[in-house]
């Protein structure tokens, strides 16, 4: 049976600043999902939040990019936005960047990750399990390093040496600076591993769009790698990517996929989307209320039965006490980086400052710079310079 999993996530309002959506907002989206299941629009659905972002996880039979599924998610977010406005919550409708989407929400603001596959019909895939990574307060390339290590480095994923994975994986990488359309390159690991790394080192420009098994042609991962400020033309909030990853068997196991997150690696994000801070793994439905506002990521796991329904329970991967030590280390790394304040590597460079006020401040100062030259065109002596305004 041809089945699609769609994950669509958006920030449409939160309590007391950028912290978390209200219970009324979440109840509104859950009610909409229940109604959609009842009228057979989707087979199953699940609603959660990470920081101030609401995520809808859906299974259905309509394929990727279907206007009915995307339209449903848009309407559900509009309903939550209405509640946010009613109660004066912060950033109501922030990620809804267009008045009327064309049907596919890619490029309209919400993060979208989708995979279509034959459910339980292949000998190499007798059971279907998958996980959803949802991040808040970070840029679109936040998963570049962890997914590279999980799908291309046997030091993190020993399963890559097994027969079902030893041929490697194909990385579809998107150039997020190209606003004319999805600009994609496909590179194969392990042969192109250095080329893949050369691109993925730049989290703000290049991101993983999808990862495909070279042995079986099955898609393993989908990531919502798009930059909101490239879409909107101005800062609207960090991109807060979502990732959908199938696991086990012909794909890496959950522990192999999650082990790179022990690094709490540095990403662009944090307050006003302009700092460089460690990514902290957190339990599902965690609010952004800690010191500073560290970039955070949650991870939820599902299994699916033959009809496309999720099993009656889910796994909250980062709720395990083993991750408490990683959270402590992430906080220590954050304190050290934030102690450097606005200087150098502690903040994103001017070209990546997504908060409009910072760019306006620097831009207005740049206009006031002047080139000083002496009468003969050489260096000027103090007090005798002829001043020319810089372009």
| Of residues 50, 64, 110, the one with CA closest to residue 300 | 50
Identify whether residues 271 and 363 lie together within a single domain: no
User: Are the C-beta atoms of 53 and 134 separated by less than 8 Å?
Assistant: yes
Which of the following is catalytic: 11, 95, 192, 209?
11
Verify whether residue 270 is a known catalytic residue.
Answer: no
294 and 360 fall within a common domain: no
Q: Is 168 left (phi over 0), alpha (psi -120 to 50) or beta?
A: left
Domain that holds residue 370: 356-389
DSSP characters over 236-285 = -S----EEEEE-STTS--HHHHHGGGGG--EEEESGGG-EEEEPEE--TT
CA separation for the pair 257, 254 (Å, rounded): 5
103 marked as part of a ligand binding site = yes
- 3-state helix, strand, coil split of the chain in percent (to 5) is 30, 30, 45
pLDDT band (50, 70, 90) for residue 386? very low
Higher-scoring residue by pLDDT: 351, 215: 215
**Is 172 labelled as part of a ligand binding site?**
no
pLDDT digits (tens, 9 = 90+) for 230-270: 555 554 445 789 999 999 999 999 999 999 999 999 998 88
Establish whether 11 is a catalytic residue: yes
Q: Do 179 and 82 fall into the same domain?
A: yes
Do 97 and 215 fall within a single domain? yes
Q: What is the pLDDT of residues 159-215, one digit of tens each?
A: 999 999 999 999 999 998 877 778 899 999 999 999 999 999 999 889 999 999 999
Catalytic residue among 9, 235, 266, 333: 235
* 155 shares a domain with 258: yes
Consult the annotation and say whether 272 binds a ligand: yes
Task: Verify that 112 and 242 share a domain, yes or no.
Answer: yes
- 367 marked ligand binding residue: no
The reply to whether 136 sits in an annotated binding site is yes
Looking at the predicted structure, is the pLDDT value of residue 47 above 70?
yes
Q: Are residues 37 and 154 in the same domain?
A: yes
Q: Which residue has the higher pLDDT, 253 or 337?
A: 253
Q: Are residues 285 and 361 in the same domain?
A: no
Q: Are residues 369 and 305 in the same domain?
A: no
Mean pLDDT for the stretch of residues 131-157: 96
85 in a known ligand binding site: no
Same domain, 169 and 52: yes
Which listed residue (238, 266, 270, 333) is catalytic? 238
Percent of the chain with pLDDT over 70: 91
- Average pLDDT for 52-63: 97
| pLDDT for residue 107 is more than 80 | no
Burial of 368 (0-12, 13-18, 19+ CB in 10 A): exposed
Give the separation between CA 110 and CA 103, rounded to whole angstroms: 13
Q: Is 235 a catalytic residue?
A: yes
| Arithmetic mean of pLDDT over the chain | 89
Pull the structure tokens for residue 218. Answer: 């099955």
Q: What is the mean pLDDT of residues 302-319?
A: 94
Is 371 found in the same domain as 330? no
The model scores a pTM over 0.85: yes
* In a shared domain, residues 95 and 128: yes
Instruction: Give the per-residue pLDDT at 389.
Output: 46
pLDDT of residue 390: 44
> Annotated binding residue at 360?
no
Residue 12: the pLDDT is: 95
pLDDT in tens, 120-130: 888 899 999 99
Q: Total structural domains in the chain? A: 2
């Amino acid at each position: 049976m041809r089945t699609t999993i769609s994950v669509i996530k958006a920030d449409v309002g939160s309590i007391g600043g950028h912290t978390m959506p209200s219970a009324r907002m979440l109840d509104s989206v859950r009610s909409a999902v229940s109604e959609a299941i009842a009228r057979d629009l989707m087979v199953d659905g699940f609603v959660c939040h990470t920081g101030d972002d609401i995520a809808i996880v859906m299974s259905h039979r309509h394929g990727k990019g279907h206007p009915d599924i995307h339209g449903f998610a848009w309407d559900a977010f509009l309903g939550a936005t209405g509640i946010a406005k009613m109660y004066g919550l912060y950033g109501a409708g922030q990620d809804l960047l267009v008045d009327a989407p064309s049907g596919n929400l890619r490029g309209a603001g919400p993060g979208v990750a989708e995979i279509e596959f034959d459910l339980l019909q292949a000998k190499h895939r007798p059971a279907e399990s998958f996980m959803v990574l949802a991040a808040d307060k970070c840029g679109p390339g936040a998963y570049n390093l962890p997914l590279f290590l999980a799908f291309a480095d046997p030091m993190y994923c020993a399963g890559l040496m097994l027969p079902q994975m030893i041929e490697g994986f194909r990385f579809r990488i998107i150039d997020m600076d190209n606003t004319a359309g999805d600009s994609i390159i496909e590179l194969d690991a392990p042969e192109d591993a250095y080329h893949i790394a050369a691109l993925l080192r730049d989290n703000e420009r290049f991101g993983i769009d999808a990862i495909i098994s070279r042995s079986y042609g099955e898609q393993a991962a989908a990531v919502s790698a798009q930059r909101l400020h490239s879409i909107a033309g101005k800062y609207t909030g960090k991109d807060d990517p979502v990732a959908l990853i199938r696991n086990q068997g012909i794909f890496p196991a959950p522990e192999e996929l999650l082990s790179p997150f022990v690094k709490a690696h540095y990403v662009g994000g944090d307050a006003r989307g302009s700092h460089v801070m460690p990514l902290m793994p957190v339990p599902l439905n965690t609010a952004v209320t800690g010191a500073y506002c560290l970039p955070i990521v949650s991870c939820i796991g599902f299994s699916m039965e033959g009809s496309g329904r999720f099993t009656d329970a889910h796994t909250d991967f980062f709720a395990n006490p083993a991750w408490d030590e990683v959270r402590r280390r992430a906080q220590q790394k954050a304190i050290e980086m934030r102690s450097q304040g606005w200087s150098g590597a502690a903040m994103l460079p001017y070209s990546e400052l997504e908060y409009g006020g910072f760019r306006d401040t620097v831009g207005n100062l740049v206009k006031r710079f002047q080139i000083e030259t002496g009468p003969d065109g050489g260096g000027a002596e103090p007090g005798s310079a002829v001043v020319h305004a810089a372009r």
